[in-house]
Structure 1
């Protein structure tokens, strides 16, 4: 374990690391039901407003105007297993997931430029996430003021959203070269808590603890730009490439703190500036006929997350990501088959793990402390399978799709040292007591997301 990772785990909340990657370094990828059924793979196909989620050059492929709206119904289940017990909890949410529109302008001239099209896309992703871990009576903490308690349970609770509004332009040159550019505007909201319950070994009474600097609330806005190109190698083959700049986030943050020698228990506010990784995407598409098409996208993060440094907290964050973050890669494959007015679609996506293997001081089920290595720490690789159907009424269309996303990861908690001498205050606090430890409890979490999408659209 690197020194930066060890120090960071003492001084910061694990959920800050998770949100940095899961919320601020990612991008809302909720498109239309067609887009989601094909696993978000359309980088060399294009043709609608969802091109702004992968390659803005796809706007230039459109030959007619279009507007659509998508209802998303999401189900997010985490099952956390520890010390021979498991606890599962499901969060269900319905929302407006996507709105897209394309306006086409055919150029009536002798020029090789055939179309200049303008697109607008809004994508909204629910980020509600709840992980509750069962307790362990073998894990006993002794309090400085006397008495002891066993670990009762732990919970991470996050709710909120992240959205992306994109405006772009695409152009068609002689029906074999397409170029595009887009501007992307992000908004986010996060409410996060980190809590634990301990049971007295004397009388069995329970005591509720909050981690230092939690609960916290964050409201953010960000900006990025994207460029793309699609080339038609033949009537049946296309290739594409796109580049999206880092997202430059401005995050207002408020949080609770405890046991301060001057202020006691109170809350504070601060501002953070964050830069997400630069991302590149390459794509290839095979169009056998008007009845069948296949697209493959591969995306890679080219840089690492970075906070603007205002003090020790941002320095620790940056050191951690410099040492232990792996550039994310994603592979997406999607296909569509048309049978008259019917549409059949399917897709698969794989996203790599964002972290190198980490070694942590960890409590065993028996309450002993060992050094344990984790290859799936906090977040891990994800697999997504999807399929969908649609029907085209010529001017109007309706599409539906289902998406299943699964991952397994190690879930650390309860690590936090209380040492004001060294300015490290990250323990768990109740109104009258403090729990601190340099070791983590780590549960195994299985995450399953079942998402449904319904799109209504109009072509003109």
Structure 2
């Protein structure tokens, strides 16, 4: 009977808790279009060039640069390497995956009216992976702060009567956890205190007075100590993808216009596992395990407007506006907790899924200005500059107290960030040699949270006439301080030096 009741709870429960914060806002606002090998070889500096399917994802006017209809498909080997420092501990992890990261086609139609200034039109459809969320790392070290502060800090900021944490007659422990989450007066934060109590980590001060349901003061069963051995495992999978419909045209011999209508989709799963131990002789709790699982699904819409002008036959100028992306996001979570002092029934809580109400997120818009110089058949050099104000990221509905608080945090911590990209190509008959560099400023006002990004790229291409093959290696590096939990009482952070390397292969055809 317990299993049947549990399934009913999982299927029917709607939770009113919150896990959304500034890290989610940044995650879904940043873009790192992986694209074709040629695009990546020039570090994405393609805003004024066009003539490449991933260039169209930067400036929609670029499809009219094609002389013929074109199709391309790209695969990549993605390698993420993390060096992690956590107090006195150092660890390294690496994750490699193979991926289809781009495909698309552009169809070019020439205007046969010789008197018209509109020379040609292009229509395109493409898929680009915007971000790859596959990642894993381990933080391990000795800290002087325990996980008990995670639970105690909630009780210090919110009066939680002990009676809320107790089981009602005939109520199972998983029922109580579910009911607390479904109650709009309690929600996610009280669920955490419930976990801390039933895991034996915290108790009410007057535990001996079992009739005192109004008690709101709590203490830890983990004795104060100078050192706690801690491990934190992070594992995530998923992606942020974009499907685009492109429309562009060429006016006279020098001006190109375009628009992209973009459909976005997010699929993100994260599992974190925390272990803590201590050898203090006065501690009732010497070992703690705390697992959190999050699944995120989202969809969104954005548009892009772009133009390219050939100032001369060699010099090109590009300008692009990326609208904000309007996302609708749904999340589910589950939790597991255990300790050497936990109630034996605590394991059933791991079967409860918290289903949160859908929310909206508006990512910031972006402006990109581009310059390119083409040396005839010998090669080219290109430069892109982008500007995006991350403080304009907004959770909605903004009338919600939690989202209003997070929007205030975003406004205080995030800032306007610039991106610089430069790339070049040398053509030796059918062979092309390419290279590029990019620099992205941190979206945070304080680079302590996330540093600037530096990246470089090298690549080769070979044209067989109506068929081309391209191969590129690129690498980018960025540091970050990752807070294990978004809780002021337990602010332990891991310092992560992340390097992302990619080997991309593209084949393209003129139709």
Q: Which TM-score band applies after superposition, normalised by the shorter structure?
A: 0.7 to 0.9
Q: Which residue of 2 aligns with 1:201?
A: 279
Residue 12 of structure 1 and its aligned partner are, at CA, apart by 6.8
Q: Which residue of 1 aligns with 2:58?
A: 54
Q: Which residue of 2 aligns with 1:456?
A: 507
Q: Which residue of 1 aligns with 2:120?
A: 115
1:138-194 C-alpha deviation (Å, 9 max, x unpaired): 545664453448232123322111111111111111221111111011111011233
Which deviates more, 236-245 or 119-128? 119-128
Q: Which residue of 2 aligns with 1:170?
A: 248
Task: Classify 1:178/1:141 alpha carbon distance in 2 versus 1 (closer, same or farther; 3 Å).
Answer: closer
Task: Classify 1:192/1:17 alpha carbon distance in 2 versus 1 (closer, same or farther; 3 Å).
Answer: farther
C-alpha separation in 2, matches of 1:121 and 1:415: 37
Residue 232 of structure 1 and its aligned partner are, at CA, apart by 1.2
Residue 83 of structure 1 and its aligned partner are, at CA, apart by 2.5
Question: Of the candidates 235, 239, 242, which is equivalent to residue 157 of structure 1?
Answer: 235
**Do the aligned partners of 1:280 and 1:301 also contact (CA within 8 Å) in 2?**
yes
Q: Which has the higher helix share?
A: 2
C-alpha separation in 1, matches of 2:435 and 2:243: 26
Q: Which residue of 2 aligns with 1:369?
A: none
C-alpha separation in 1, matches of 2:230 and 2:335: 23
Aligned: 1:307 with 2:398: no
Q: Which residue of 2 aligns with 1:268?
A: 354
Which deviates more, 440-449 or 394-403? 440-449
Task: Classify 1:72/1:258 alpha carbon distance in 2 versus 1 (closer, same or farther; 3 Å).
Answer: closer
SS of 1:115's equivalent? strand
1:91-130 equivalence runs, <5 A: 91-109=95-113, 110-124=115-129, 125-130=131-136
Residue 290 of structure 1 and its aligned partner are, at CA, apart by 1.6
Residue 27 of structure 1 and its aligned partner are, at CA, apart by 3.0
Residue 292 of structure 1 and its aligned partner are, at CA, apart by 1.2
**Do the aligned partners of 1:353 and 1:376 also contact (CA within 8 Å) in 2?**
no
Residue 258 of structure 1 and its aligned partner are, at CA, apart by 7.9
1:203-242 equivalence runs, <5 A: 206-210=287-291, 214-242=292-320
Q: Which residue of 1 aligns with 2:466?
A: 395
1:376-433 C-alpha deviation (Å, 9 max, x unpaired): 21x321111001001111121110000101011222224536xxxxxxxxxxxxxxxx
C-alpha separation in 2, matches of 1:390 and 1:18: 38
**Do the aligned partners of 2:78 and 2:500 also contact (CA within 8 Å) in 1?**
yes
Q: Which residue of 2 aligns with 1:422?
A: none
Task: Classify 1:326/1:456 alpha carbon distance in 2 versus 1 (closer, same or farther; 3 Å).
Answer: same
Residue 302 of structure 1 and its aligned partner are, at CA, apart by 4.2
1:220-279 C-alpha deviation (Å, 9 max, x unpaired): 0111011111111111211110101111101111123689xxx97733222011111011
Q: Which residue of 2 aligns with 1:4?
A: none
Q: Which residue of 2 aligns with 1:328?
A: 417
> 5+ residue gaps in structure 2?
1-16, 149-200, 204-220, 338-347
SS of 2:48's equivalent? coil
Question: Of the candidates 352, 355, 360, which is equivalent to residue 444 of structure 2?
Answer: 355
Q: Which residue of 2 aligns with 1:410?
A: 481
Task: Classify 1:410/1:12 alpha carbon distance in 2 versus 1 (closer, same or farther; 3 Å).
Answer: farther
Aligned: 1:132 with 2:138: yes
1:294-352 C-alpha deviation (Å, 9 max, x unpaired): 11111111461101126332122211111111123211111111100101111111111
Task: Classify 1:158/1:316 alpha carbon distance in 2 versus 1 (closer, same or farther; 3 Å).
Answer: farther
The aligned length equals 404
1:32-51 equivalence runs, <5 A: 32-51=36-55
Task: Classify 1:151/1:399 alpha carbon distance in 2 versus 1 (closer, same or farther; 3 Å).
Answer: same
Q: Which residue of 1 aligns with 2:448?
A: 376
**Do the aligned partners of 1:49 and 1:120 also contact (CA within 8 Å) in 2?**
no
**Do the aligned partners of 2:467 and 2:508 also contact (CA within 8 Å) in 1?**
yes
Aligned: 1:342 with 2:428: no
Task: Classify 1:224/1:135 alpha carbon distance in 2 versus 1 (closer, same or farther; 3 Å).
Answer: same
Q: Which residue of 2 aligns with 1:441?
A: 492
Residue 442 of structure 1 and its aligned partner are, at CA, apart by 2.4
Q: Which residue of 2 aligns with 1:6?
A: none
Question: Of the candidates 243, 248, 251, which is equivalent to residue 321 of structure 2?
Answer: 243
SS of 1:21's equivalent? helix
Question: Of the candidates 316, 329, 334, which is equivalent to residue 405 of structure 2?
Answer: 316
